[in-house]
Amino acid sequence: MILIGFMGSGKTTIAKRLHKKGYSIVDTDRWIEEHVGTTIPDIFENDGELHFRTLEFDALESVVGNYDVISTGGGIITYEPSYRFLADTDEPIIYLDAPIERLLKRISGDKTRPLAQERASVIERYQLRAHLYETLADIRIDTSQPISNCVAEIEAFINQS
Ligand code: S3P
């Protein structure tokens, strides 16, 4: 399964919880940092967002099929080749979402997220992206509910599909 959703939607947290239940997991942000040998903020600063998006695509292509759960960066859907890849894959796409105020609260003050530094632009970015997540999603999970409920919903969906 592939977890998509905005920054702060709970992709990493939910992947970790699934890992505790025995699923193998990988995070495209961590994959990139390990392969490039530097941090996400450094990649944005030195090489720019577009370069980061190409690395994200490489990560996606490399990990699909090798893990039970792939947790992605929130902007992966903005890069056409990655969007196409997600639209074409047979992997279930799980969209994690929560009210914007909740997302803002979760990401505020996080210096490791270059695109989360200004409230107004975060809101605008969320609005621009929401329909992309929705179009790709096989199921949408509201992560403002307790994490155990989210995981139960995901497992119920995976087991019936
Ligand atoms: C980004 C989200 C981040 C990370 C990068 C860009 C985005 O991942 O990939 O900072 O464009 O929304 P998270 O969604 O895990 O914060």
Tens of pLDDT, residues 96-137: 999 999 999 999 999 999 999 999 999 999 999 999 999 999
pLDDT digits (tens, 9 = 90+) for 26-71: 999 999 999 999 999 999 999 999 999 999 999 999 999 999 999 9
70-98: pLDDT as tens digits? 999 999 999 999 999 999 999 999 999 99
User: Mutation test of ligand 1: which of 2, 6, 7 has the most ligand atoms closer than 8 Å to its C-beta?
Assistant: 7
Q: What is the pTM of this model?
A: 0.98
User: How far apart are the CA of 73 and the centre of ligand 1, in A?
Assistant: 4
Q: Is 59 in the pocket of ligand 1 (CB under 6 A)?
A: no
Integer Cα distance of 147 and 143 in angstroms: 7
Name the closest-CA residue to atom 3, ligand 1: 73
- Token pair 């107004």 is found at 120
Report pLDDT digits (tens) over 141-151.
999 999 999 99
Q: Which one, of 32, 101, 21, lies nearest residue 63 by Cα?
A: 32
Q: Ligand 1: does its nearest atom lie under 6 Å from the Cβ of 32?
A: no
pLDDT band at 161 (very low <50, low <70, confident <90, very high): confident
Q: Helix or strand or coil: residue 138?
A: coil
Rounded CA separation 43/68 (Å): 27
Query: Could you tell me if the CB of 29 is within 6 A of ligand 1?
Result: yes
CB of 17 within 6 A of ligand 1: the answer is no
Q: Nearest C-alpha to atom 15 of ligand 1 is from which residue?
A: 73
